[in-house]
Structure 1
């Protein structure tokens, strides 16, 4: 399937002790070895921008580039954080809208019954 780009959600890995770049790297190495994932095909990593991910020497991105020889690995700041930053930079009206949306999402996610009803609504509307 040449020419086809795929994006997949691989897993949620629980961090047991610390949340340092080397801890993330160890967990990631274990995961890719366990499932035989070819890291040479990795072109991008999406993070939340915290220092343990982006640190110049000991952040996950730096460790991945060094350990797996991926000098062109593209780190991307996650979409929700990008939108929030853009709203803060642009104008207050957009910031107010984003704050309302975030509060609404947090309200739904924090209440299991509301979350289930919201999922049912999305399913009924055939929306993702």
Structure 2
């Protein structure tokens, strides 16, 4: 089946211009994997296909270039027809001398390069401000105490069941899976009372004090709310029908929302953040305002103005 699909894609690609999207990541076994997707026009439609997955021993720009070039040669494709490359912006991809993109540009100087919208949106959301950063770090410590120990996980699950909780456990926070962050924080908020009981039994008064603190909990609610909004935008920019124009519109819409939120927060109103509104949030208005300003600045930094005319 794999060979048949590969053959079909190869036939459709004959003498067509194409663009590539490449990303490298380490799998659960510690092995570096290079994933490459290809887009081209077929029957007057933009078609996207998975091109190849290559295991890498080294992850330098030269290694990535050699791996992709070898596969394209096997497929009978030429770099001359490659008109664009989208990457995650890491040094091995975009390095000015030995980066993957730089090496491809030596083969095809007219190449258009872009930094993946999903990664840029994630980068813009990373800067939280000191107070919110401390809250997130504390939550991660709590999760690690429970989730990294199988016995503790089982005990907490039994406790949740005995207390009639809506959930039987917490979700694990993993940095690489940034889209799960909002769900992780929401689950911690929902199981806050159960966690207080559990940490009391486990002799962790520092965790109990944080979870019982209304101001700290309000900051937790805000983090859950804002990451939920950011994750919705990120998810909406995924899919075969997405392109630079549609994604730019969504980022522009998010920026307008953030500016509107800033105006409302300045008036002491945070009702657009549902969990935060249910908590006693008035004391954290300055924290919310500071974070929204940082978020706006980061989005403008990572998403400079794009003129739609040249792409229409």
Superposed counterparts of 1:12-91, under 5 Å:
12-15=53-56, 17-66=57-106, 68=107, 70-87=108-125
Give, in whole Å, the separation in 1 of the partners of 2:183 and 2:61. 28
Once the 2 structures are TM-superposed, how far is the Cα of residue 39 of structure 1 from its aligned partner?
A: 2.2
Once superposed, what is the RMSD of the aligned Cα atoms?
Answer: 3.4
Flag the structure with higher strand content.
2
Question: What's 1:122 paired with?
Answer: none
Give, in whole Å, the separation in 2 of the partners of 1:26 and 1:74. 20
Once the 2 structures are TM-superposed, how far is the Cα of residue 35 of structure 1 from its aligned partner?
A: 0.9
Question: What's 2:168 paired with?
Answer: none
Give, in whole Å, the separation in 1 of the partners of 2:64 and 2:46. 25
Residues 94, 100 of structure 2: 8 Å contact kept: yes
Once the 2 structures are TM-superposed, how far is the Cα of residue 2 of structure 1 from its aligned partner?
A: 7.8
Residues 85, 112 of structure 2: 8 Å contact kept: yes
Q: Which runs of 5+ in 1 are unaligned?
A: 93-98, 108-127
Which of the residues 137, 161, 180 maps onto 1:103?
180
Give, in whole Å, the separation in 2 of the partners of 1:62 and 1:33. 19
Give, in whole Å, the separation in 1 of the partners of 2:182 and 2:83. 30
Q: How many residues align?
A: 99
The answer to which of 2-11 and 26-35 deviates more is 2-11
- Tell me, what secondary structure is at the counterpart of 1:43? strand
Q: TM-score, normalised by structure 2?
A: 0.27
Give, in whole Å, the separation in 2 of the partners of 1:25 and 1:106. 37
The verdict on how the C-alpha distance between 1:38 and 1:2 changes in structure 2, with shifts beyond 3 A counting, is: farther
